[in-house]
Amino acid sequence: MTTIGVFRLGMIACACTALGACGTSSSGGAGGPGGGGGGGGTPAQAMAAFDAAMDEGPKMGPTTINPKGKANYAGKTKINTINENQTGFSGFVIGDLEMEADFDQDTLSGTATNFKGQIDDKDVTLDGTLDTANITGNEPNMVVTSDPIEVAGQKIHTTSLLGALEGKLKNSLTDETADVQLILQGTAFGANADRFQGGAAAIIGNKDEVGFAFGGSGEFYLDRQ
């Protein structure tokens, strides 16, 4: 199975670097954008709506308590695709996220599906589902709250999310299918971890060969339901 053509993404290093770069620079408000990733409208409208949603998270302020119990989250992830020669961007895809966080057990589970967007100025759909249940390696799926730290005379917590989802996606433009791993790394915002947002990385390849060979960087947000 070919290792490029599903996203035509950049190298793994680019994707992993983006996790740090995107962790605090993006966000989204309650509710999600339309367009790609399950909504109505064109890919361009989906891109604009996603970017607008990503401006809302910091307005909520960081979560400073230790969340308890379980919570369901829904949101979207956008992956910026890189051209085959890795010399520039070729487009983007946006997918739907549905996750469950168990703050008492520090665990995370869920899926990513319904990826839509544009690559090389052509509308594309990536059919298939990425699932935390498909992860068989050491990649963690967790929500972790720090020990309290004192800030301005108050003891506060910070809560982080690290997710790994895996599956197969088929490119509607090329009919190619590839193994895809999606990595999410973000921070909680809002009074009670009402939102997670941060960086995303998509890593693509055939695990039966030399491992994941290509990747792309992006962002995500998840809103508590």
pLDDT in tens, 49-58: 999 999 989 9
**Contact criterion met (CB below 8 Å) for 202 and 181:** yes
- pLDDT bucket at 25, cuts 50 / 70 / 90: very low
Contacts of 146 (CB under 8 A, 6+ apart): 157, 158, 159, 160
Residue 206 pLDDT: 56
Per domain, the residue ranges of the chain are 12-224
Q: Which residues of 6-23 are buried (b: 16+ CB within 10 A; e: fewer)?
A: bbbbbebebbbebbeebb
CA 50 to each of CA 87, 97, 118, 201: distance values in angstroms, whole numbers, following the listed order: 25, 13, 14, 17
Mean pLDDT, residues 116-141 taken together = 90
- Give tens-digit pLDDT for 148-166: 888 888 888 899 999 999 9
Mean pLDDT, residues 112-123 taken together = 92
Residue 208 pLDDT: 43
